[in-house]
Structure 1
């Protein structure tokens, strides 16, 4: 009859710690894929960015509907808006705008990139106004108008020009690159 010795406590601890770390990594990857999935499923890069634009405008609308005393809800929605815009900016700045520059649209890409600096300024200012509903709503309305103008320029003029300049392989490559960038912040 053979006796089976149980592993020493240190081995069990290390196994448990390794298993926990592995599960945490799987959870992180799963969360990133869930956040990026709507973009990835939207199709080519331009359709995906348009879907993100719509989702962003929806967040603006939800923020605009917050009540005077809903500072916690407003802060949460503002955090979601910051995350959505941050991820979106990384996708555009690191994939789409370089493609625009490569296809003779350098000035347009640089102007869009400069707009992103103003987005950061608006977000900074809104963070300080969460508790002041009137000032918050005024700043939010101005921000939404500016961001919507930026989106319309991209969707109606610039992205169609870039799309026409790309063949099928370049479109596929840009879509892949954009999704890789989105996963970094997802």
Structure 2
């Protein structure tokens, strides 16, 4: 199955779960459905971020490349809304569910109407199917872990990226500092030479 078709199928699954949760009147059933939704969404976002979006960024260019960056940002918002749904907060369960549902619907619409058609035109069908196979295998592995473990791993990855970014910034600052010192020493030498030449 092509990667885009796999993701569309998962989108429909999420939509079905949202409807079932909204209709459910049984508390235990609703808890089970929310857990299923959380795992489905967490695993879905993971395979997009680990496999699909990196492939998209390799082929998209110019303004179209912003679609991939926007998708990452939308995932961050959806993850926050999902955590709010699973936890406790000032908003009612129904209100928290609505926020998550609207974020997911907006994200799905943008992907299916803009991002997917662009990638289907740029990536050949054989590669798209190969990517779909890898994504399906990873998704199934994620499903076994459950949403709590997936979200914990995601937090670790984000912390790792942040730490890497901080080290890179510190290294860059150190290099710039070295350059500043070199420029300062050079300026001092130039001034000394200039004064010596003036005295001569």
TM-score w.r.t. length of structure 1 = 0.68
Q: Distance in 2 between matches of 1:97 and 1:179?
A: 15
Determine the structure 2 residue equivalent to 1:49.
7
Unaligned runs of 5+ in 2: 144-200
Determine the structure 2 residue equivalent to 1:171.
128
Determine the structure 1 residue equivalent to 2:141.
184
In terms of fraction of residues, the more helix-rich structure is: 2
Does residue 119 in structure 1 map to residue 75 in structure 2? no
Structure 1 residue 129, shift from structure 2 partner: 4.4
Equivalent pairs, count: 140
Determine the structure 1 residue equivalent to 2:114.
157
- CA deviations 1:14-51 (Å, max 9, x no partner) are xxxxxxxxxxxxxxxxxxxxxxxxxxxxx211111111
Determine the structure 2 residue equivalent to 1:88.
44
Determine the structure 1 residue equivalent to 2:165.
none
Q: Which has the larger radius of gyration?
A: 2
Unaligned runs of 5+ in 1: 1-42
Aligned pairs (5 A) from 1:97-112:
97-104=53-60, 105-112=64-71
Structure 1 residue 100, shift from structure 2 partner: 0.8
Q: Distance in 1 between matches of 2:32 and 2:129?
A: 35
Aligned partners of 1:63 and 1:78 also within 8 Å:
yes
TM-score w.r.t. length of structure 2 = 0.64
Q: Distance in 2 between matches of 1:106 and 1:178?
A: 21
Q: Which runs of 4+ in 1 moved over 3 A?
A: none
Aligned partners of 2:2 and 2:130 also within 8 Å:
no
